[in-house]
Chain A
Amino acid sequence: MNRRDFLKNSITVIAGLAVPLSALELISPRTLLARKEDGSAVRWAFLVDTQACVGCGFCVKACKTENEIPYEAGITRTWVERYVVTGKGKSCVDSPQGGREGFTSDRIDQGEEGHRELARDDVEKAFFVPKLCNHCESPACVQVCPVGATYQTPDGVVLVDRKHCIGCAYCIMACPYGVRSFHPVHKTAEKCTFCYHRITKGMKTACVDACPFGTRKIGNLRNPDDPVTKTIMSGRVGVLKEEYGTKPQVYYLALSREVK
């Protein structure tokens, strides 16, 4: 083996080692989301400012109407949770009917346990948290669909094919956020679509438009000038249940540790 061959072989080996190493390199959300090699110029993401939410529930109502979910049905694509935390650290959560009628009473809905009312002086903090599908970058619900009825579009939205879904509920089981359900009429898996029919026409989602307080915002992560992208990149944002590795794409401002 002469020197030239030795060098050549060494370079090949090093290059070969370098490839898997670069694959192991931690990819920050920034590089991941700025990546455009898959051809899509759009990657939808959502921003929720929990401090702005007043619990009026207009978003839930608008979502149900816009997306043809029977209003009285016990499921909803988006909902608002109320957290009431006492000075002793005890926290109560409720979301009566998903908050579709807004929060109009201090009585906290505890399901079968009835209602619970905390003394005004005991309440240390109380706030509202809107929830919707996180349109994860690694959606567990899509991974487990046995027939390819749920999928992710190139712009990152997770949809369900109502003509193909067999209704096995495995996706509902796989979602750590509880955003999926069954549509009472179509009998197929039901979930938030980021109002795909609106955002692809240049509009905002129905919930964003219905919110008077700017709690909800939708934006394109691949556009660095998008105000939502700017907040997500430079602001102090959190996501829900990061430990499941689903890489959720609904970002929360002022996310409190009590939020489930």
Chain B
Amino acid sequence: MGSHVWRPLYIAAALIAVVLVARTFLVPEDFGIHERGYMYGWHRKGNEAEWKAVTVKYRTAAYCRECHADKAESISRTPHGIISCENCHGPALNHPDDPPTLTIDRSRALCLRCHAALTTPSSGRAKIAGINPETHNPEAECTLCHDPHNPISSQGEALAKRHEEGGMQGASERGSEAYPSVR
């Protein structure tokens, strides 16, 4: 007799026990304190492998070179050689198996990423030939006149000259040298 005041405590203890039991069933086995300690390393170890297993989409120019050595070699000698093939051709994934063909981005917007003239005097952008997209043949695709695989071909030089005469910004200041091999 007289112990009834402890009854709520029994219920509390039972609840705690339930949580502790549930814990053993619900928490993954590899969950725990790992290398970086409790503060930064309290996690499910298996998740690291899950992140490592994400599919690689961009296979880099080295992968392209395995089959397209000739193309890769010729482009590497032009100023555009610094651009990864996949920036315009799209991620290779398992090309040529999957996908068999890549979708090439020939849009004006793609070229403008670097070649729209901006007022950025203290950045690398200032060293790149730039045009005003609103006045520089706004209706035309860039590839109509320019060869992205060989931007300073004879055709390109002629263009540069024309630009110079037309007072085109960027190109006009630096002529054909305006295509610097940036690093």
Contact = CB atoms under 8 A, between A and B. Distances in A.
Task: Determine direct contact between A and B, CB below 8 Å.
Answer: yes
Given A102-B112, A102-B113, A104-B116, A209 B60 contact: yes
Interface string A104-117: 11100000000000
Nearest to B54: A197
A213 B183 contact: yes
B182 interface: yes
A212 interface: yes
Interface string B42-54: 1110011011111
A65 B105 CA distance: 14
A70 B55 CA distance: 16
Interface string B117-137: 011111111001000010000
Contact of A196 (B31, B51, B58, B122): B51
B137 to A, nearest CB: 15
Contacts of A53: 123-125
A206 interface: yes
A142 B84 contact: no
Interface stretch (A9-17, A18-26, A121-129, A233-241): A121-129
A123 B123 contact: no
A101 interface: yes
Contacts of A82: 120
Contact of A123 (B40, B116, B119): B119
B31 A152 contact: no
Nearest to A102: B113
B145 interface: no
B114 A126 contact: no
A120 B109 contact: no
B124 A210 contact: no
B124 A143 contact: no
Interface string A126-140: 111000000000110
B91 interface: yes
A148 interface: yes
A38 interface: yes
B56 A154 contact: no
Contacts of B50: 161-163
A150 B60 CA distance: 30
B125 A54 contact: yes
Given A38-B35, A102-B113, A128 B40 contact: no
B83 interface: yes
A170 B87 CA distance: 35
A120 B23 CA distance: 64
Nearest to A142: B40
B95 interface: no
A104 B57 contact: no
Given A53-B124, A56-B113, 6 more contacts: A38-B35, A66-B56, A104-B116, A142-B39, A153-B35, A212-B87
Interface of B: 31, 34-36, 39-44, 47-48, 50-58, 60, 82-84, 86-87, 91, 109, 112-114, 116, 118-125, 128, 133, 182-183
Report the 3 A-B pairs with minimum CB-CB distance, sorted nearest first. A102-B113, A151-B43, A197-B54
28 contacts: A38-B36, A53-B123, A55-B123, A58-B113, A62-B87, A65-B57, A101-B109, A102-B113, A104-B109, A104-B112, A104-B113, A104-B133, A106-B119, A123-B121, A126-B122, A128-B125, A142-B40, A148-B42, A151-B36, A151-B40, A151-B41, A152-B36, A153-B36, A154-B36, A203-B56, A206-B58, A212-B83, A215-B124
